[in-house]
Amino acid sequence: MDYQTTIAYLFDRLPLFQQQGAGAYKEGLQNTLALDGHFGHPHRSYPTIHVAGTNGKGSCAHTLAAVLQSAGYRVGLYTSPHLADFRERIRINGIPMEKDFVTDFVAQERSFFEPLNASFFEVTTAMAFLYFARAQVDVAVVEVGLGGRLDCTNIIRPLLSVITNISLDHTQLLGSTLPAIAAEKAGIIKEGVPVVIGEADASTRPVFQKKAEAEHAPIFFAEDSPMLLDVREAPGGGYDYRAVSPLALEGGYAQIYDNPYLPRQAPFPPQTLCFHGELGGFCQPRNTETVLHALKVLRGCGLAFGERHVQEGFAHVVGLTHLHGRWERLALPGARCPVFCDTGHNPGGMAYIVRQLEGQRCRRMHIVIGMVGDKDFRSVLAMLPRGAAYYFTQASVRRAIPAADFRAAAEEAGLRGEAYPSVEQAVREALRRAGADDFVFVGGSSFVVADLWASPLCDALRE
């Protein structure tokens, strides 16, 4: 099989969550462990960083990879889903894995994984771990696919576990309450492995603490000791930060303040670091706080990097890792006004996006939106601005809500617009109608952004 035939086989033959939803989700790690043993436990040949969470895990994983890449490490990065090409999921120093590796892997190994009835994600995870081992990466940043406890990636023993935040998502699989979802995410906490928690509340903090205590894992809550000292939106996009340096005062403040040789009335001032964060969106300062704490712990785990590498990683994360779809401005052909997209797809993520939309100064806002049926789309519709022009659409995945049905639900929520059978059609119509003083937003689902990114409208952006 050639590459395109191989990709079609992976998507059509193997159970795929993004297409089938809960029907493709398999409890238990039996297949993952069987695949891992078959390939000789490849993930054990390099250190890893494990990143989970409801929202923000992609941004955090890519930023951590960018910082380590800037420091000269050969960094594997495993994330999901992809936007335009399957190989985006598995990268080394930002470069997608070779097409030949994909075709050879499937051709040589399908006789083993087909009898297992392995899922798409189980096979893809095995492919990623093997690819990183054969390429001899120095470290790999591994993003959890779904949940944590039973996720295929949870066979690794990382240097550090990171859990960004918890909100209601995938409730049919992970639980209908925040503590229940937190318990699934906490499943990545391993014995003796430090864990950074980006955000927690009164209901989820005890869940993380209990699991960390049971595993004798050092736990760090980013909100307990904020490292960001000043955050300002940058004129050209992204943010300018001033923060406590993750390299400052090695060993932690407590040990230094308790040092009898230092006067208590004059505590040692923290070393600060100023840097630009390329990623935009109101959610990014919280992600940045999480990443800074993770970097501080990683220094203690033996990874070597300097402040210049932190600055370069944050400032050039898109160029270094090719992350897209995080409050990203797109230069689309025919656009007479700003066009932004974002992959936020649940109430927690959309809350940030709605705040961002409400802050836009424009004559009229045009919103191209579609969602999948297993999300709390009614809560999202209730958040959206009432005065915008809407273009209801559906992504090219079976889980997508049909555009006409989504439009009907939106009308019940007081939103007005037309339905379009494809994302490209909806975006083209929004661009046709939007004037120079208007604003266009595309989102509601990672798959909506993926369809836009894979369309001819973005041909020049993918080059």
What is the pLDDT, as a whole number, of residue 33?
Answer: 97
The rounded distance, in Å, linking the Cα atoms of 447 and 287 is: 22
Q: What is the pLDDT of residues 259-289, one digit of tens each?
A: 333 333 444 456 899 999 999 999 999 999 9
Q: How far apart are the first and last CA of the chain?
A: 26
pLDDT at 249 over 80: no
What mean pLDDT, rounded, does the chain reach?
90
Q: What residue ranges of the chain are covered by domains with CATH 3.90.190.20?
A: 328-462
CATH of domain 3-225+283-321: 3.40.1190.10
Q: What is the pLDDT of residues 393-414, one digit of tens each?
A: 999 988 899 999 999 999 999 9
Q: What is the pLDDT of residues 192-246, one digit of tens each?
A: 999 999 999 999 999 999 999 999 999 999 999 999 999 999 998 999 999 999 9
* Neighbour count for residue 379 (Cβ, 10 Å): 15
The rounded distance, in Å, linking the Cα atoms of 462 and 460 is: 6
Q: What is the pLDDT of residues 164-190, one digit of tens each?
A: 998 765 555 565 688 998 999 999 999
Q: What is the pLDDT of residues 66-84, one digit of tens each?
A: 999 999 999 999 999 999 8
Which residues lie across from 391 on neighbouring strands?
368, 418
Q: What residue ranges of the chain are covered by domains with CATH 3.40.1190.10?
A: 3-225+283-321
Q: Hey, what CATH class is 328-462 in?
A: alpha beta
Q: What is the pLDDT of residues 291-331, one digit of tens each?
A: 999 999 999 899 999 999 999 999 999 999 999 999 999 99
Q: What's the pLDDT band for 17 if we cut at 50, 70, 90?
A: very low
Which residues fall within 8 angstroms of residue 244, CB to CB, at 6 or more apart?
A: 227, 229, 270, 271, 272, 273, 292
Q: Locate tokens 């689902």: which residue?
A: 445
Tell me the CA distances in angstroms from 228 to 40, 78, 222, 231, 274, one per residue in order: 42, 27, 10, 7, 10
Arithmetic mean of pLDDT, 44-57:
95
Which residues lie across from 91 on neighbouring strands?
77, 96
**pTM for this predicted structure:** 0.91
Which residues fall within 8 angstroms of residue 426, CB to CB, at 6 or more apart?
A: 368, 370, 391, 392, 393, 403, 420
